[in-house]
């Protein structure tokens, strides 16, 4: 009798105490292997986890990584993606939540992952449920948005204190600082304009007579002109690389200097990878600020000058992110605008610029849709005319604007 009572007591203990522990054990986190070209942003974007900042915070925490850490190809990383056992009944009872809308979003997320072939089978079949970390910890990160500001950040950050509707932008230099409003066609849109290299890195270099041509100077001048065009049509435009001494220059030969900074006034880092992350991090931070302020259309335009064999002529060509349809459409729109202009103004009408996908940091690691532009071959004497003649630099900026206007 005593033995029987003990057995019954053990069963009652197991039912009352052990069963709940097993039923509500802490879920695991999903692991994935970093592929060639993966960065933190592109990895989380692949799994649809890039819309909540808490996912990035938790990713670094889970993997014991410092901010801006580089991922190693072939290494496994935990994602802010919880793995629950699906009980075959409801998502709410499986996860231990009561909100029906959250359960619907979790179901839709799993169906999307299956559609994208990131899941091998349905959660209803393999009884494995993926739950994004943000659904349980920061589901309202996108709510409470305010109306976007119409003031340009260039104007707001003016060192001369001329904000408040004067439409003077010192970054463009004394001659071009005043930028009248030509239209409001780009009102509500945000652009991040990034000229290549700068600071300790002049980029590609060419020679023309006794002059040295530095890529960063010519890319910066075209970028400034494009930025001014955007502001003139109502856009908010950020110059990510900045040189407060230069402004828009109407000279053929631009002095090579090393005093460029980045948005916020920080010096440009010397090593390439940290320097690139410095720029993409700035863009991503500004992107989040603008997104939470209600901005729905944000783009990055990255401008470079190529370096090839001296005998090789090139037309302006474009790169886009292979995994982003928006990036591809942006690059194609810019490409079409230049193709149209060349057909109008070039005697032969021929234009050989291309649009291709390429795994470049500034395309991969920025949250916004982006296009990467190569203006010319800095070593080819014919191509050099496209960038050293000031009016040509303005044409480039004007024609690129045409690709952005609705």
Per-residue pLDDT tens over the stretch 99-156 = 999 999 999 999 989 988 899 999 999 999 999 999 999 877 542 233 333 334 444 4
Count of C-beta atoms within a 10 Å radius of residue 19: 10
User: What's the order of all strands across the beta sheet hosting 128-132?
Assistant: 28-33, 76-85, 128-132
Q: Which residues pair with 238 in a beta bridge?
A: 192
Q: Give the pLDDT confidence score for residue 154 in this predicted structure.
A: 46
Beta strands in 183-337 (DSSP E): 189-195, 205-208, 211-214, 236-239, 241-242, 261-262, 297-306, 317-320
What's the confidence (pLDDT) of residue 68? 63
With b meaning 16 or more CB within 10 Å and e meaning fewer, what string describes 245-275?
ebbbbeebebeeeeebebbeeeebbeeeeeb
Q: Rg of the chain's alpha carbons, rounded to an integer?
A: 26
- The residue-averaged pLDDT of 228-252 equals 94
Query: How far apart, in Å, are the Cα atoms of 314 and each of 24, 241, 307, 328?
Result: 63, 25, 10, 21
- pTM score of the predicted model: 0.65
What pLDDT, in 10s, does the model give residues 193-209? 999 999 999 999 999 99
Q: Rounded mean pLDDT of 325-339?
A: 97
Q: In a 3-state reduction of DSSP, which class is residue 183?
A: coil
Beta bridge partners of 165: none
Are 303 and 222 a contacting pair, CB within 8 Å?
Answer: yes
Has residue 17 got a pLDDT over 80?
Answer: no
Mean pLDDT lowest among 265-274, 309-318, 388-397: 265-274
CB atoms within 10 A of CB 30: 19
List the structure tokens of 223: 């970028």
Domains of the chain (ranges, CATH numbers): 26-137 (no CATH), 153-402 (3.40.630.40)
- Which residue has better confidence, 221 or 148? 221
Mean pLDDT (the chain, rounded): 86
Banded pLDDT at 252 (limits 50, 70, 90) = very high
């Amino acid at each position: 009798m005593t033995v029987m009572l003990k057995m019954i007591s053990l069963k009652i203990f197991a039912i009352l105490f052990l069963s709940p522990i097993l039923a509500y054990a802490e879920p695991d986190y999903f692991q994935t292997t970093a592929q060639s070209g993966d960065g933190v942003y592109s990895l989380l974007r692949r799994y649809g986890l890039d819309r909540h900042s808490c996912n990035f915070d938790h990713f670094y925490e889970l993997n014991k990584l410092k901010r801006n850490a580089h991922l190693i190809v072939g290494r496994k990383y935990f994602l802010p993606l919880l793995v629950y056992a699906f009980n075959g009944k409801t998502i709410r009872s499986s996860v231990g939540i009561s909100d029906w809308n959250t359960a619907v979003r979790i179901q839709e997320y799993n169906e999307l992952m299956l559609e994208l072939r990131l899941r091998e089978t349905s959660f209803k079949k393999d009884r494995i449920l993926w739950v994004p970390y943000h659904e349980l910890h920061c589901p309202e990160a996108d709510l409470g948005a305010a109306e976007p500001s119409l003031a340009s950040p260039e104007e707001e950050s003016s060192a001369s204190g001329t904000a408040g509707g004067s439409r003077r932008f010192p970054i463009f230099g004394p001659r071009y600082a005043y930028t009248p409003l030509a239209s409001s066609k780009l009102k509500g849109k945000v652009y991040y304009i990034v000229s290549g290299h700068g600071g300790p890195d002049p980029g590609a270099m060419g020679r023309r007579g006794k002059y040295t041509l530095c890529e960063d100077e010519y890319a910066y001048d075209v970028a400034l002109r494009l930025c001014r065009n955007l502001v003139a049509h109502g856009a908010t435009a950020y110059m990510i690389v900045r040189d407060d001494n230069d402004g828009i220059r109407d000279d053929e030969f631009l002095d090579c200097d090393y005093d460029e900074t980045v948005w916020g006034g920080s010096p440009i880092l010397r090593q390439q990878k940290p320097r690139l992350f410095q720029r993409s991090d700035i863009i991503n931070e500004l992107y989040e600020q603008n997104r939470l302020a209600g901005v729905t259309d944000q783009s990055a335009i990255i401008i470079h000058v190529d370096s090839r064999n001296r005998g090789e002529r090139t037309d302006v060509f474009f790169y886009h992110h292979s995994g982003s349809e928006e990036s591809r459409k942006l690059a194609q729109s810019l490409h079409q605008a230049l193709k149209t202009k060349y057909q109008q103004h070039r005697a032969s009408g021929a234009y050989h610029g291309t649009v291709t996908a390429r795994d470049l940091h500034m395309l991969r690691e920025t949250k916004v849709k982006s296009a990467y532009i190569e203006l010319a071959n800095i070593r080819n004497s014919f191509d050099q005319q496209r960038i050293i003649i000031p009016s040509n630099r303005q044409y480039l900026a004007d024609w690129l604007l045409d690709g952005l206007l609705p």
